[in-house]
Amino acid sequence: MEPVKVGLLGLGTVGGGTISVLRRNADEIVRRAGRGIEITHAAARDIEKPRSFDTSNIKLTTDPLQVVEDPEVEIVVELIGGDSLALDLVMRAIEQGKHVVTANKALIAKHGNKIFTAAREKNVMVAFEAAVAGGIPIIKAIREGLAGNHIQWLAGIINGTGNFILTEMRDKGRDFADVLAEAQQLGYAEADPTFDVEGIDAAHKLTILASIAFGMPLQFDATYTEGITQITRDDVTYAEELGYRIKHLGLTRRTDKGFELRVHPTLIPERRLIANVDGVMNAVLVMGDAVGPTLYYGAGAGAEPTASAVVADLVDVVRALTSDPENRVPHLAFQPDALSDLPVLSMEEVETAYYLRMQVQDKPGVLADVTRILGDHGISIEAVIQKEPREGCPHASVIMLTHRVIEKNMTDAIAEIEALDSIEGAVTRIRMETLNAQ
């Protein structure tokens, strides 16, 4: 049987990894897919520049539309990123009845509902395993491996740059800005690191994970997103003293009122496996009613880890080329007419516990005022640490852990605390999750 011909859009890091993995593992892939898979066409901005991977026997062009519209191409792999040109090319491929594989999380998170609707109308597949957590097969695990479960919640460290920064701050007592500069030198962070450190990249991925976990439409705009730029090495140290670690966590949970969908710095008990995921690695913890907690760990980026997921999607598409479209695995795990209409909760409606840090005047009665305000808002305290003022500073640091409370109540309480004459500056608030099996 003739190999399936694939058109590749983008010859960057992941594109090169995809070519390399397909060629190196060609025999194994034939055994798994039943047919060969060959990249025969590819588009890149500069087709003349030297590359570390072999592009022989591939028709190269600077025009990605030529690849999409070539009649020989049966599957289009989109690896150019962004959500404007990529959207146009993917929609054109679908319109021509071609299957699509993409590693583009922004594209799926923001336009996936439109893309999947078009794909169903044309009876083609859109595969996107590589869009979330690089080489970790988390999409397949939730969509297929956990199909017998009622997913209750999932939490993920799904941005390696942020995890590297927080790990270095904890292990070496370094400041955020210092570690960010190193991450940029090492190539872990872009020159403009906003997408990573402000949580936008993680929010794209969480949006996708939530949809396949709960069978809900993709709702990126409803995802609460908060970055790690305000985390200090003091916060990291105090969290350690209290038995916690700070991670930039994406968390989604099903409640009776709706779905929580949020990305923010989070204190996690240090004994949890996910709290010990360090450096640029990713991990996703999924709680199912039948299986309990399951943890998926691995490289969240990189040429061949991400290519591993791209090639796996290609194998899945090739396996399904002759199958009845009605019997394929749904894009978002649930049948399109059975998606949930529960709302996504606003952050003010979310219930969680908190870490609070404040600078207070070192005099009697201050702590009593703070605890009174918290009590007035129904907030109980789990632990308190008071640090002596540093030399030459009139203010002491007070750190508190609270029990779970509705976010609006905490916001109101913090506003009252900050209004006290004895409080200097803003109160630092970091949410806290135990991630236990209850």
Q: What CATH number is attached to the domain comprising 253?
A: 3.30.360.10
Residue 349: which pLDDT band, with cuts at 50, 70 and 90? very high
Residue 89 phi, psi dihedral angles, 5° rounding: -70, -40
Task: Look at residue 341 and tell me whether its pLDDT is greater than 80.
Answer: yes
Q: Span 4-28, mean pLDDT?
A: 95
Residues 8 and 131 in one domain: yes
Give the residue among 325, 317, 397 at the shortest CA–CA distance from 356.
397
Residues 403 and 330 in one domain: no
Task: Look at residue 438 and tell me whether its pLDDT is greater than 60.
Answer: no
Domain assignment of residue 419, yes or no = yes
Res 389: pLDDT: 77
The chain-wide mean pLDDT, for the chain, equals 94
Q: Span 206-234, mean pLDDT?
A: 96
Give the residue among 254, 253, 246 at the shortest CA–CA distance from 274.
246
In whole angstroms, how large is the CA radius of gyration of the chain?
Answer: 24
Q: Span 135-149, mean pLDDT?
A: 95
Task: Look at residue 377 and tell me whether its pLDDT is greater than 70.
Answer: yes
Q: Span 189-198, mean pLDDT?
A: 92
Q: Which of 205, 257, 363, 408 is catalytic?
A: 205
Residue 302: which pLDDT band, with cuts at 50, 70 and 90? confident
Domain assignment of residue 437, yes or no = no
> How confident is the model over 43-95, as pLDDT tens digits?
999 988 888 898 999 999 999 999 999 999 999 999 999 989 999 999 999 99
Helix, strand and coil content of the chain, in percent to the nearest 5, comes to 40, 25, 35
Domain assignment of residue 344, yes or no = no
Residues 261 and 326 in one domain: no
Domain assignment of residue 345, yes or no = no
Measure Cα distances from 139 to 134, 329, 331 in Å: 11, 12, 10
Task: Look at residue 190 and tell me whether its pLDDT is greater than 90.
Answer: no
Res 395: pLDDT: 84
Residue 390: which pLDDT band, with cuts at 50, 70 and 90? confident
Residues 154 and 60 in one domain: no
The model's pTM is 0.94
Contact between 237 and 231 (Cβ < 8 Å): no
Residue 205 annotated to the active site: yes
Residue 339: which pLDDT band, with cuts at 50, 70 and 90? confident
Residues 224 and 197 in one domain: yes
Task: Look at residue 393 and tell me whether its pLDDT is greater than 80.
Answer: no
Contact between 86 and 63 (Cβ < 8 Å): no
Residues 161 and 238 in one domain: yes
**What's the total number of domains in the chain?**
3
* Residues pairing with 7 in the sheet: 41, 76
Cα separation, 18 vs 314, whole angstroms: 10
Task: Look at residue 392 and tell me whether its pLDDT is greater than 70.
Answer: no
**Residue range(s) defining the domain that contains residue 418:** 350-432
Residue 205: which pLDDT band, with cuts at 50, 70 and 90? very high
Task: Look at residue 435 and tell me whether its pLDDT is greater than 90.
Answer: yes
Res 321: pLDDT: 85
Residue 269 CA to chain centroid, in angstroms? 20
Residues 209 and 248 in one domain: yes
Task: Look at residue 437 and tell me whether its pLDDT is greater than 70.
Answer: no
Residues 95 and 26 in one domain: yes
Residues 270 and 316 in one domain: no
Residues 267 and 286 in one domain: yes
Residues 195 and 96 in one domain: no
Helix H or strand E encompassing 358: strand 351-361
Residues 89 and 202 in one domain: no
> How confident is the model over 31-43, as pLDDT tens digits?
999 999 999 999 9
Question: Would you state the structure tokens that stand for residue 400, as one six-digit string?
Answer: 């508190």
Domain assignment of residue 343, yes or no = no
* Orientation angle between helical segments 85-95 and 105-121, nearest 10 degrees: 20
